Amino acid sequence: MPGRRALVLVRVRGRSMLPTYRDGDVLLVLRGGRPRPGRAHVVRLPPGTDGSPGPLAVKRITGPAPGAPEHWWMDSDNAAEGVTSFDVGPLAGGRIEGTVIGLVWRPLG
């Protein structure tokens, strides 16, 4: 995982982690730990077809990818939305940047 271990904050943009996390939620993330299957993680998505770097995204790592050691299967919590390993394949371990510890703040309203 990239970076030394550190606690960082991220803000969620979008709806693909509903109902767990909403747009605007601020999450506490442990950067640089090992992936914890079943938990949400901050991942670097694979590059686009035009070569542009993939965005940082929040996804659930469900477990090791079937038949691909050192790779992880990611899913969105909202089945209707979000890029998952069904779309872009499993993620190499180096693309998992941090583990979500929990919600620290949610916008009012």
Cβ nearer to other proteins, comparing 91 with 97: 97
Q: How far apart are CA 62 and CA 69, in angstroms?
A: 14
Question: Residues 28-47: x/- map of binding to other proteins (CB under 8 A)?
Answer: -x-x----------x--x-x
Taking only Cα atoms into account, the Rg of the chain, rounded to an integer number of angstroms, comes to 13
Cβ contact 75:16 at 8 Å:
no
CB of 8 to other proteins, least distance (A): 5
Q: How far apart are CA 27 and CA 103, in angstroms?
A: 5
Phi, psi for residue 11 in degrees, rounded to 5 = -115, 130
Q: How far apart are CA 29 and CA 101, in angstroms?
A: 5
Question: Residues 63-102: x/- map of binding to other proteins (CB under 8 A)?
Answer: -------------x---xxxx---xx--------xx----
Q: Which residues bind other proteins (CB under 8 A)?
A: 2-3, 6-17, 21, 23, 26-27, 29, 31, 42, 45, 47-50, 52, 54-58, 76, 80-83, 87-88, 97-98
